Amino acid sequence: MLLFFICISCSNESVNKYVPTPSPLQIPQLFQDNILAPVVPINNPQTVEGIALGKKLFFDPILSADNTQACADCHAPEKAFSDADRFSDGIDGFFGNRNAMPLFNLAWNYDEKFFWDGRVFSLEHQAFLPVTDPLEMHNTWKQVEQKLQQHSEYPNLFEQAFGTSTIDSTLVTKAIAQFERILISSNSKFDKHLLNKATLTPQELNGFNVFMDETRGDCFHCHGSDKNPLWTDNIFHNNGLDVTFTDLGLGKVTGDPADNGKFKSPSLRNLAFTAPYMHDGRFTTLEEVINHYSEGLQNSPTIDPLMKKVAQGGVHLSAQDKADLKAFLLSLSDYEFINNSAFSNQ
């Protein structure tokens, strides 16, 4: 008889347990045709409930110590999840020294090294740092867990997403990572051109040719091509910004002087929305970026070999090629992405 009641009890627990609804990433055609499958951890599969919870957490200032700052304050949807300010300010009014990176196509970062300097591995671990950073949300995970646990909605949402109403930092970051993985940008004018759904202007076409030409722009080695819809290699480079470094970038993480001044190549998608540019936001316009590679390269011991014209100060583009290159770069901007209601706080 005792065994019977135990079995009934186990059966009832199984019946009442939430089972999240699978929600696999919707992979764009150009991604399917040209690059490897996305990185989705086995222990954090995409689900409807997990994504919804992650979205709610992303836009909720409850993660900050004083309930004033959410992830979205430094990663705004209308800015392709970047920050229009050169440096983001935290809850105490202090500023960092790097520009907030845009967030999209993160599931295709195959090495899974995140931030400008690659200091964390995996999208889940990336979400841990801003919460406790004294220059950002300046909170403790213990306090976050307590606030979420005492909230009127969150325990039930965690139960639905992960099968438990006991909230911890691991589940918080898993949910945020699920939401961030659905931030897929693939509908720029250039994407549509590749799918024969749009026609580029002669200026945009020449700009693409400048981009791909090793004797002119020579941009594709770090930023991909029509065969790489990410428009980045997700690798760390010293692209000739400085002779000496106040920010060591990757070198501070690895401790290897050969890595000093190296930063992750950002995607060239959505440049219409993500100014200012470079790891420290030093350039406010695309013209400044193009002029840097054309005439402004600075030599240093760790300069990337791909900066082949550093001795001449750059590739020295003509005024027409500069204008055309800008037109092409802007054709990589995805207006559907920044206006997607699934990604906004609605």
Contact (CB, 8 A) for 110 and 68: no
Q: Which residues contact 96 (CB under 8 A, 6 or more apart)?
A: 87, 88, 90, 135, 136
Instruction: Report DSSP state, residue 100.
Output: P
Rounded Cα gap, residues 83 and 37, in angstroms: 29
Contact (CB, 8 A) for 343 and 183: yes
Place of tokens 């970026």: 289
Within 17-117, residue ranges assigned H as helices are 29-34, 48-58, 71-74
pLDDT of residue 16: 63
> What's the whole-model pTM score?
0.94
Q: Which residues contact 193 (CB under 8 A, 6 or more apart)?
A: 199, 200, 331
Rounded Cα gap, residues 25 and 22, in angstroms: 10
Helix (H) or strand (E) holding 136: none
Residue stretches of the chain with pLDDT short of 70? 1-16
